[in-house]
Structure 1
Amino acid sequence: MSIVVTAASGQLGRHTVEALLNRGVPASRIVATSRDVTKIKDLADRGVTVRRADFAEPASLAAAFEGAEKLLLVSTTTPSERVANHRRAIDAAVAASISLVAYTSMLHADTSTASLAPTHSATEEYLRDRLPSVLLRNGWYLENYTSQLPRVMQGGALIGAAGRGRISAATRADYADAAAVVLSTDGHTGEVYELGGDHAFTLAELATAISVVTGQRIRYTDLPADTFTRALLDAGVPPELANVLVSADLAMSRDEMFTDSGDLRRLIGRPTTTPAEAITDALR
């Protein structure tokens, strides 16, 4: 019986496949899926089974999930299509008699005011009603900030609308490691894991961390929501994504991206990546 990882050509999915291999799961037991299997040919070369899966094509999902015991359903990227895509995947998992589905949701999905929360909450409800599941409510990615470092350093400022809200961010590799644990060990059915980094920070504190690591003074500029939206649009961010990012920052300002559950650390059996470590890695 195999473990299926969806969206394996994406960053979180690929990290999860690597984490499963690192934890001793034989490559022959792992099925990596993608809409474009040429992007994961390297995984096939290492003995991982590679199958095409398109969330818009139920027949492809049925073939991809055949013979699977466990499934990691990595949330899809387009918010307007997310719930329909996820329902098709869950229906295919039911038809394949999969015994456990782990879903990558978002922190506090059932109470968050962020615009992404309803799509995650709806998926959670649909999944719970149909299959044994475990909810991996991932917090914010540290990479959401480290990917901005060139622009931040050029302008000398980190901008946002998160106020003094605390953010429990971790790296994709941290969250992927947690997913690998859930998929490769027992005792997780029915659990809801609120996952976040050990080192919560405000964006002002993150700006200080960037300053320390880089040796360049970086300030945090907190903006009203409409001003932050305009700044993102002026930087070339697509309108839908800009709205998502602004909504996320406003949720952060209410501490909705903070958790002190310790779930992530306990699952992976080690401290989570610190902001300073993530910044240092990104600059290498």
Structure 2
Amino acid sequence: MTAYAVTGATGPFGRLVIASLLERGVAPSDVTAVVRSPEKAADLAELGVQVRHGDYDRPETLGTALTGIDVLLLVSGSEVGKRVPQHTAVIDAAKAAGVGRIVYTSALRADTTELPVAPEHKATEAALKASGVPFTILRNGWYTENYTGQLGSYRERGAVVDATGDGRIAAATRADYAEAAAAVLVADGHEGKTYELGGTPFTTTELAATITEVTGTPVARQSITVAELAAVLRGAGLDEGTAGFVASLDEATARGDLDTDSGDLPRLLGRPATSLADAIRAAA
């Protein structure tokens, strides 16, 4: 039987990937959750999933964690600025352990976009290709949860306030990306492939209109400048660097860095991606 491993398995995305693997009929004993804190994976262990300690910042833990693994999902780290050495440590350990294929969660058009988070993904993709280990790259777009997670504040304020201009956002739910990852993990024919993944694009004007339609709470779209947004974020308590970084994501959205017309996600899912309205309905 094929042995699968998922890094970052106690995070929301990793948990969903494991759930999707099990739903596809993969035996729990054939799935390994590689986690920084094994005690947080007790529920996975109760399902029969193997739990192994593996810390991106402690390369000496990764070899044992990846021993006997055939296909690895390398879930990108969350610590901006540290991800290249972290990811490279996993890739090196996987190669040394004889892992047959690495699937990596990257960012839309990581090799060409100006999205501020892209350079680390581009560097990881280069390290993966240079490793000689067969690979598949999943360039995930934005999570719809980045917006539905703010649904309460949108409704309370009566507005979506942003600096994205008319930029389109090809977001999809975390569950959709996780299901696509599981589909790639268990099937042949994905070696050497790079997939640009995103849902049906929407603007924040359409986001506000859909919230209004689905929830019945009037929500307008309030467009401001990037500088104004940074000032709002500083006023909300963010330090200058963080406020500038978050505001730069809206600037990137306005440029079109979060948009894609790729049909890769629905093809991998075998169905349309979850609609914005359905995602809002579930969150509400």
Q: Normalised by the size of structure 2, how large is the TM-score?
A: 0.96
* Counterpart amino acid of residue 196 in structure 1: G
- Aligned match of 2:221: 220
Shift of 1:230: 2.2
Structure 1 window deviating more from structure 2 (230-239 vs 246-255): it is 230-239
- Aligned match of 1:185: 187
How far, CA to CA, are the matches of 2:183 and 2:166 in structure 1? 33
Shift of 1:241: 4.7
* Counterpart amino acid of residue 168 in structure 1: A
Partner SS for 2:32 = strand
How far, CA to CA, are the matches of 2:19 and 2:189 in structure 1? 22
Instruction: Judge conservation of contact 1:28–1:48 (CA < 8 Å) in 2.
Output: yes
- Aligned match of 1:127: 128
Output aligned runs, 1:112-191, within 5 Å: 112-130=113-131, 131-191=133-193
* Counterpart amino acid of residue 101 in structure 1: I
Instruction: Judge conservation of contact 1:116–1:244 (CA < 8 Å) in 2.
Output: no
Shift of 1:237: 4.6
- Aligned match of 1:15: 16
Shift of 1:29: 0.7
- Aligned match of 2:4: 3
How far, CA to CA, are the matches of 1:239 and 1:210 in structure 2? 30
The structure-2 alpha-carbon separation of the partners of 1:225 and 1:60, relative to structure 1 and needing over 3 Å to count, comes to: same
Instruction: Judge conservation of contact 1:52–1:64 (CA < 8 Å) in 2.
Output: yes
Partner SS for 1:187 = coil
1:112-159 Cα deviation digits (max 9, x unpaired): 111101011000001111121111000000000011111111111111
* Counterpart amino acid of residue 234 in structure 1: G
- Aligned match of 1:81: 82
* Counterpart amino acid of residue 174 in structure 1: D
The structure-2 alpha-carbon separation of the partners of 1:144 and 1:92, relative to structure 1 and needing over 3 Å to count, comes to: same
Shift of 1:250: 1.4
- Aligned match of 1:52: 53
Q: Structure 2 regions of 5+ residues with no counterpart?
A: none
Partner SS for 2:82 = helix
Shift of 1:100: 0.7
* Counterpart amino acid of residue 37 in structure 2: D
Shift of 1:238: 5.8
Partner SS for 2:161 = strand
Instruction: Judge conservation of contact 1:107–1:194 (CA < 8 Å) in 2.
Output: yes
The structure-2 alpha-carbon separation of the partners of 1:258 and 1:42, relative to structure 1 and needing over 3 Å to count, comes to: same
How far, CA to CA, are the matches of 2:176 and 2:72 in structure 1? 19
How far, CA to CA, are the matches of 1:250 and 1:38 in structure 2? 40
Shift of 1:261: 1.2
How far, CA to CA, are the matches of 2:173 and 2:242 in structure 1? 20
Shift of 1:210: 0.5
How far, CA to CA, are the matches of 1:238 and 1:280 in structure 2? 33
The structure-2 alpha-carbon separation of the partners of 1:81 and 1:99, relative to structure 1 and needing over 3 Å to count, comes to: same
2:256 paired with 1:249 = no
* Counterpart amino acid of residue 56 in structure 1: D
The structure-2 alpha-carbon separation of the partners of 1:35 and 1:252, relative to structure 1 and needing over 3 Å to count, comes to: same
* Number of residue equivalences: 282
* Counterpart amino acid of residue 41 in structure 1: A
2:36 paired with 1:35 = yes
Partner SS for 2:72 = strand
1:232-281 Cα deviation digits (max 9, x unpaired): 23334565554443222212112221111110000011111111111111
Partner SS for 1:220 = strand
How far, CA to CA, are the matches of 1:5 and 1:238 in structure 2? 34
Q: Structure 1 regions of 5+ residues with no counterpart?
A: none
CA RMSD of aligned residues (A): 1.3
